Amino acid sequence: MQELEWCGLQLQADDAYARLGAYFSAPVRPRPLTGARWVVASEQAAALLDWPAQLLNQPQLLALVAGQSLFAGIEPLAMVYAGHQFGGYTPQLGDGRGQLLAQLRNRKGELWDLHLKGAGLTPFSRDGDGCAVLRSSIREFLASEHLAALGIPTSRALAVVDSDMPVRRELTETAATLLRLARSHVRFGHFEFFYYTRQYTQLHQLMDYVLEQHYPECQAADNPMQAMFAAISQRTAELLAGWQAYGFCHGVMNTDNMSIVGETLDYGPFAFLERYQPSYVCNSSDIGGRYAFNRQVEMAEWNLTALGQTFTGRVELDALRDTLTAFTPLQQALYEQRMRARLGLEGEQAGDQTLIERLLRILQTAELDYNGFFRQLSEADAIEQLLPLAGACVVPADLQQWLQDWWSRAMPAGRDGSQRQQAMQAVNPLYVLRNALIQETIEAARQQDYAPVQHLHQLMSSPFVAVAGCEHYAQPTAPERQGWPLSCSS
């Protein structure tokens, strides 16, 4: 633990990851941006570090995010990892453009990684340029803060800085940086790197580190590693329950993008479902649809199996298999819990699963807006207000019957209608981070107008609360703007 003064604050630095030693990372230095400009910053993310809102316009913070200055006495590092990418094993990846600037403990004692994405070349850059473009930095910033507001586990985003440095992608764009916060940047792929290079001493060191830092509650178990694998599986199930309930498609669920603490990590070509299309593939580079929306749970289990392989030296195979077998039913139970909340159902009843499945089939056939539908349910104070929805859809009788069944389940005799509405509105966003909305702010930001991204951030970090004059943001995306093509290019 090291105390340091920075920008008028007393910070508690804990170089826990660096202490693992030289096998785990390489020392690096950020490449400073030139012409650095603030794009957007998150007060809520800063608060996780106990940093006050006033800090967000300080030149010292701008210099840090622009890679122009460092915390005194803390050496940035790039982590080494590997990973299964689209099913094939890549023996060495690592932070190719991100650098761990510091690990800080907040007043609660929580450890937070400060990771600068787009910080320049590292020994793991392979043939990449070490840069992140403004477009993808804005996308990750907005999505991190929106998922957090939806109660879905995620890494966080503290700020984005733009520059005048050109970067070649399909078009020439500008280089940007994103200061990302996460409880951990250890990925499933970290374990795979040490396992497949047969560095078992380091593998066990990494396991002990993750146990101590992130799963201390497992230390008392008969086999702490077995308990930790089960806990990682549990957190991954919670993550997938959140994604599936809100129609979030990650797009690139490779094992190097899977966080060991079960947070959404490495936002790329992500999308929220517009209409309910279960087989939707948001990443135009994912030709086989490996990471289609309705395959995400299966792919998470696949990734946990890959991780489980690296635990075989410390956990019996049968125990690993039991955890893996329990994953999908556990995810399903957590998903149904979230969906019951979205539907305003109190308690748990035998017919709930069927009610949810029937709704999903209707939404798919009727091509209704997925998230918008739940909000409409939450806003109605009488079933009569909802029946016109059925009249306008292609399966009117099915939807009408469903609405009646839902109403009698959600509104048993004696339930207070406004209590149901309030409960539903606290979990059903009015504003959903649709790709077309992000795209509008990116186009403005390219002209150095950052007000639209700041405004969208405000709405999306408080997505349940209506703001006067913002009706446009609550609308479903126009059909011609849906399915925006997104690739891994970032």
Q: Helix (H, G, I), strand (E, B), or coil: what is residue 124?
A: coil
Please give the helix or strand (H or E) that residue 116 lies within, else none.
strand 111-117
CB of 440 to ligand AMP, least distance (A): 24
In this structure, are residues 432 and 463 in contact, taking their beta carbons and an 8 Å threshold? yes
**Binds 32, which of ligand AMP, Mg ion, none (CB < 5 to 8 A, cut-off by type)?**
none
In this structure, are residues 48 and 105 in contact, taking their beta carbons and an 8 Å threshold? no
Closer residue to Mg ion (CB): 242 or 251:
251
* Interaction between residue 175 and ligand AMP (CB under 6 A): no
CB of 140 to Mg ion, least distance (A): 11
CB atoms within 10 A of CB 417: 13
Closer residue to ligand AMP (CB): 4 or 488:
488
Of 481, 360, 378, 484, the C-alpha closest to 429 is: 378
Rounded CA separation 274/278 (Å):
11
Active site residue 95: no
* Interaction between residue 301 and Mg ion (CB under 5 A): no
Contact flags string 243-282 toward Mg ion, x per CB under 5 A? --------------x--------x----------------
Closer residue to ligand AMP (CB): 462 or 487:
487
Q: Report how far apart the first and last C-alpha atoms of the chain are (Å, whole number).
A: 35
Closer residue to ligand AMP (CB): 79 or 366:
79
- Number of residues located near ligand AMP, criterion CB under 6 A: 16
β-bridge mates for residue 182, sequence order: 113
CB of 290 to ligand AMP, least distance (A): 14
Closer residue to ligand AMP (CB): 97 or 420:
97
* Interaction between residue 238 and Mg ion (CB under 5 A): no
* Interaction between residue 123 and ligand AMP (CB under 6 A): no
Q: Helix (H, G, I), strand (E, B), or coil: what is residue 475?
A: coil
CB of 189 to ligand AMP, least distance (A): 9
Q: What is the DSSP string of 382-451?
A: SGGGTHHHHHTSSSHHHHHHHHHHHHHHHS-TT--HHHHHHHHHTTS-SS---HHHHHHHHHHHHTT--H
* Interaction between residue 252 and ligand AMP (CB under 6 A): yes
Number of residues that make up the chain? 490
CB of 163 to ligand AMP, least distance (A): 15
Angle subtended at Cα 244 by Cα 243 and Cα 250, rounded to the nearest 5 degrees:
45
Question: Which of 113, 256, 286, 369 is flagged as catalytic?
Answer: 256
The residue of the chain with the least Cβ separation from Mg ion equals: 266
In this chain, which of 43, 129, 336, 379 binds ligand AMP, going by CB under 6 A? 129
β-bridge mates for residue 111, sequence order: 105
User: Which residues are at the interface with Mg ion (CB under 5 A)?
Assistant: 257, 266
User: Which residues are at the interface with ligand AMP (CB under 6 A)?
Assistant: 93-97, 124-125, 128-131, 252, 257, 266, 268, 488
Catalytic residue annotation: 256
